[in-house]
């Protein structure tokens, strides 16, 4: 029995292990082919994964710019909404008093178009005010001012009228007037001066809104006084912005720097002299007698 078992083992070993050099070579070749096939399969798999990853990266890169633009737009939109909310919260406070930054901004915006006016009154005393540009061409500019300032020049012979821009004085000529609304139009021989924008709307400004009177006299080329609107009607704007002598004829502005009226110390549409509350003729009323306004 033992001999028979040994014989069977020898037969199995002979079948599994080659007995010749050719058989050994065949076994090695088969093993190599198997390894090569496995390597090819693994290479193909990793090549597929690499191609898939590259394609995904390219697709992401193509859409990244659009995603970034969208994100920036969302951020900017939310920032503007936040600014609007802050401005809305600050509006009640700004109605009470404007900051120095706001006053300086308005003064600098209109400084080149506002002049200081000096002449003489009927009794020979100084008469001063301000004027602002309402029309300008290449040769001349026309300035709106308070008739009360240049009243003496309405008769001939009358005193000279001078307007000052910084340290330079320019001769001015009275060309039109509306005594009832305290308006007068001056002409100077200097052209291409920017006119101030006029406010529009009905009413031209709301009750409780801020107004600013900007004179042509001041260390920085002008000065600003501010107040609130008490009433608005067809005859003018009732407000409490201080109107000193140098402010009569100055533009009365809204918060956007647009002219709503002309500052006056003598305009009294209700038939009595104003005290701490002044009346300003509407800027559009200058088109009735003083200006020829297209449209």
Look up the CATH number of the domain holding residue 141.
2.40.10.10
Say if 154 falls within a structural domain.
yes
Find tokens 């201080």 and name the residue: 242
Say if 173 falls within a structural domain.
yes
What CA–CA distance (Å, rounded) separates 246 from 244? 5
Kind of pairing between the strands at 210-215 and 114-120: unpaired
Say if 179 falls within a structural domain.
yes
Say if 118 falls within a structural domain.
yes
pLDDT at 78 over 80: no
* CA 184 to each of CA 17, 72, 149, 154: distance values in angstroms, whole numbers, following the listed order: 126, 53, 9, 10
Say if 178 falls within a structural domain.
yes
Residue 48: which pLDDT band, with cuts at 50, 70 and 90? Answer: low
pLDDT, tens digit, for every residue of 86-110? 566 555 545 556 677 888 888 999 9
Could you tell me the pTM of the whole model?
Answer: 0.67
Say if 143 falls within a structural domain.
yes
pLDDT, tens digit, for every residue of 142-152? 999 999 999 99
Range of the domain at 181: 114-188
Say if 127 falls within a structural domain.
yes
pLDDT at 166 over 70: yes
Predicted local confidence at residue 63, as pLDDT: 73
Average pLDDT on 38-44 reads 61
Predicted local confidence at residue 231, as pLDDT: 95
Q: How many domains does the chain have?
A: 1
Q: Residue 73: how many CA atoms within 13 Å on its side-chain side?
A: 6
Predicted local confidence at residue 30, as pLDDT: 62
Residue 27: which pLDDT band, with cuts at 50, 70 and 90? Answer: low
């Amino acid at each position: 029995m033992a001999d028979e078992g040994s014989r069977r083992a020898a037969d199995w070993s002979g079948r599994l292990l080659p007995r010749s050099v050719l058989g050994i070579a065949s076994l090695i070749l088969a093993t190599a082919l198997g390894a090569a096939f496995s390597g090819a399969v693994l290479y193909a798999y990793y090549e597929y994964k690499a191609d898939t990853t590259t394609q995904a990266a390219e697709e992401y890169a193509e859409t990244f710019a659009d995603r970034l633009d969208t994100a920036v737009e969302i951020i900017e939109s939310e920032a503007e909404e936040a600014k609007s909310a802050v401005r809305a919260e600050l509006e009640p406070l700004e109605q009470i008093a404007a900051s120095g930054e706001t006053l300086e901004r308005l003064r600098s915006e209109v400084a080149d178009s506002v002049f200081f006016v000096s002449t003489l009154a009927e009794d020979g005393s100084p008469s001063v005010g301000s004027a602002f540009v309402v029309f300008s061409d290449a040769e001349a500019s026309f300035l709106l001012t308070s008739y009360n300032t240049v009243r003496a020049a309405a008769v001939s012979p009358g005193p000279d009228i001078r307007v000052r821009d910084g340290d330079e004085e320019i001769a001015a000529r009275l060309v039109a007037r509306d005594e009832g609304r305290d308006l007068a139009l001056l002409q100077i021989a200097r052209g291409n001066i920017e006119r101030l924008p006029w406010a529009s709307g009905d009413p031209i400004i709301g009750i409780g809104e801020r107004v600013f009177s900007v004179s042509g006299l001041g260390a920085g080329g002008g000065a600003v006084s501010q107040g609130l609107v008490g009433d608005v009607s067809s005859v003018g704007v009732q407000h409490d912005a201080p109107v000193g002598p140098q402010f009569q004829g100055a533009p009365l502005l809204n918060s956007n720097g647009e002219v709503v009226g002309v500052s006056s110390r003598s305009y009294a549409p209700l038939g009595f002299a104003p005290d701490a509350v002044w009346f300003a003729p509407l800027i559009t009323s200058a088109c009735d007698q003083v200006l020829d306004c297209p449209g």
